[in-house]
Chains A and B, each alone.
Chain A
Amino acid sequence: MRTADLVQAIAAYDGKPLTIMEVCGTHTAAISECGIPSLLPSTIRLISGPGCPVCVTVSAYIDRLIQLATSPNTCVVSFGDVLRVKGSSGDLRSTKGARVEMVYTPFRALELAESDPYTTFVFAAVGFETTAPLYALLVEQIIARGIDNLKLLTALKTMPAVIRTLCQEDNTGGNACTADFFSTIDGFIAPGHVATVTGSALFGELAQEVGKPFAVAGFTAPSLLAAILALAGSAGRAEVYNFYPSAVTAEGNLEALAKVDRYFEPCNAAWRGLGTIPHSGLRLREAFAHLDAGSDALTADHIPAGCHCGQVIAGKCAPANCPMFGKACTPESPIGACMVSMEGACYHHYINDRR
């Protein structure tokens, strides 16, 4: 189908009102940048879920990074989006004396560690299933090269358990921000690059379990529109549709999954706004625990007074319903993590005027 046909077919939807959640921060960005909400009828509403790894990371993790970055002979190595997220008192970028290296790829940390043996480097290993294979390879390389001054501080998350939690909270209403915003999630746009690694079958099993349809989407307007149309036309059937078949297979990248399984094991993980969810994260296996920089027990979460990030992440509050949105909290002067991150729901509602 051509994009114009997809748009026309979605616009003609006159079924029951639908709430569709995207659970990938890169989808949140693509949906806003493509202007997709403006193409939907009033009966189809898209909401952003807990798919931005920076947004769902609790303040205790950021505090630990700051503590490490300000310790003698220690340097934190990180992707750029972690640097501006606030812990309980400040962020990495603006903390005086914090030693931080921003990188495009975790493998750069290997070169940094080898070139400066008197400094301990700590990689801020944040991410979902997509990024976990990189950290597995990083650990493999640390061991293979005999590097003893590079560790990981992990805040790795996995999708299935948090999606189950969202569906369970559906039944209770949870801590909805406003009664008129919250409603049951009717279907999910499944994360395309997570599914590239995990395979689409994982989301098929999840669909059966939670009794809702999933559509794996790529990051172009046609792929996202096709996913939305399929969810609208699925009549709630608990199936998975794959609209990113060029990258996503049913079984995923088996080598990547095996590599992750070799170095990491499932663990409970703390999510901003959702608390600690059993088996929703990954930590280094005991045999490799000497490479961990103190990731355990980082569960405390300080959310600034008045900030609704916790509810925004859970899909229970539209960004614009937060009293600070666009006033005290803007991309230039962000307060909540969802406004800091370039994949945050608040950031994209603000800069693209997403409804």
Chain B
Amino acid sequence: MCVAMPGRVLSVMDGIARVDFDGNLIEARADLVQVKEGDRVLVHAGLIIQKLSATEAEEMDAIFAELRSAADLREIMGESDENR
């Protein structure tokens, strides 16, 4: 039930955003997140619950760099960046 889909805002008027999900256009309420045209957003059951940033890959690598410094994960993943 906690399904939420990422889409891109096409326009916003009176607190209602038109959001493009790969060609499917839907309307979503924008009461809880300030959005503008072009923003990538997460929509849950007709409500924008968050604006999406584009940092996933970098932050994942940062976590593993930190974990790699711990002995147990170093054994699994290798010492350096060779597994990237």
Contacts and interface: CB of A to CB of B under 8 A. Distances in A.
Nearest to B5: A219
Given A5-B84, A253-B33, A259-B32, A131 B53 contact: no
A241 B64 CA distance: 10
Interface stretch (A171-179, A232-240, A262-270, A292-300): A232-240
Nearest to A2: B84
A325 B60 CA distance: 38
Contacts of A128: 1-2
B61 A230 contact: no
A259 B56 CA distance: 28
B31 interface: yes
Contact of B49 (A51, A193, A245): A193
A245 B45 contact: no
B74 to A, nearest CB: 9
Contacts, number: 142
A182 interface: no
A interface residue count range (under 10 / 10 to 19 / 20 to 34 / 35 or more):
35 or more
Interface in B9-68: 29, 31-33, 42, 44-47, 49-50, 52-56, 59-61, 63-64, 67
Interface residues of B, number: 33
A347 to B, nearest CB: 13
A26 B2 contact: yes
A158 B33 CA distance: 22
Interface in A230-278: 230, 232-235, 241-248, 253, 255-256, 259
B83 interface: yes
A232 B76 contact: yes
Given A15-B72, A253-B50, A1 B60 contact: yes
Interface in A154-202: 191-194, 196-197
Contacts of A13: 76
6 contacts: A24-B2, A26-B3, A131-B1, A134-B45, A229-B64, A244-B56
Given A1-B60, A244-B56, A255-B33, 7 more contacts: A107-B29, A130-B1, A193-B3, A233-B77, A242-B63, A245-B59, A253-B49
Interface of B: 1-4, 29, 31-33, 42, 44-47, 49-50, 52-56, 59-61, 63-64, 67, 70, 72-73, 76-77, 83-84
